[in-house]
Amino acid sequence: MNDSETFSSYRVVEPINDDTPLPDLNSLLGILKRMRGCEGADGLPWPENDVSPGRRVSLARTERALVGLLTVLEVLHSADRCRVAAEPERHLDEGVVDGLFLACRGLVEWACREVRPE
């Protein structure tokens, strides 16, 4: 791949092998395929080149899960502050808060399994 072959605002990425077609990043399905394949939370492939391609994908997915976890925890923190400072009718429903905690647990459990070497 040469410097003139770029993906919209993405940097140039070397394919894993020459037979792998590059995803079309101007379409929804192409972007989703790229996201599922190798992107980290910043939208770029995992930056380390000294790990195997499979491990790069695993680390990128783990980073996305952890950024998702951070987002859920920020919502929970905001909900707790609202519970302390706001009127009860402005609080999040108890079921929503439980669901957010379950999402946190699930994301952490998945990330812990994914990070552990086999």
Say what the pLDDT of residue 12 is.
43
Q: What is the pTM of this model?
A: 0.63
Give the phi and the psi of residue 92 in degrees, each rounded to 5: -70, 145
- Is pLDDT above 60 for 7? no
- 10-58: per-residue pLDDT in tens? 344 454 555 556 666 677 877 777 766 667 777 777 888 898 888 888 8
Measure CA of the first residue to CA of the last residue in the chain; give whole Å: 32
- 60-82: per-residue pLDDT in tens? 888 888 988 999 999 999 998 88
Say what the pLDDT of residue 99 is.
93
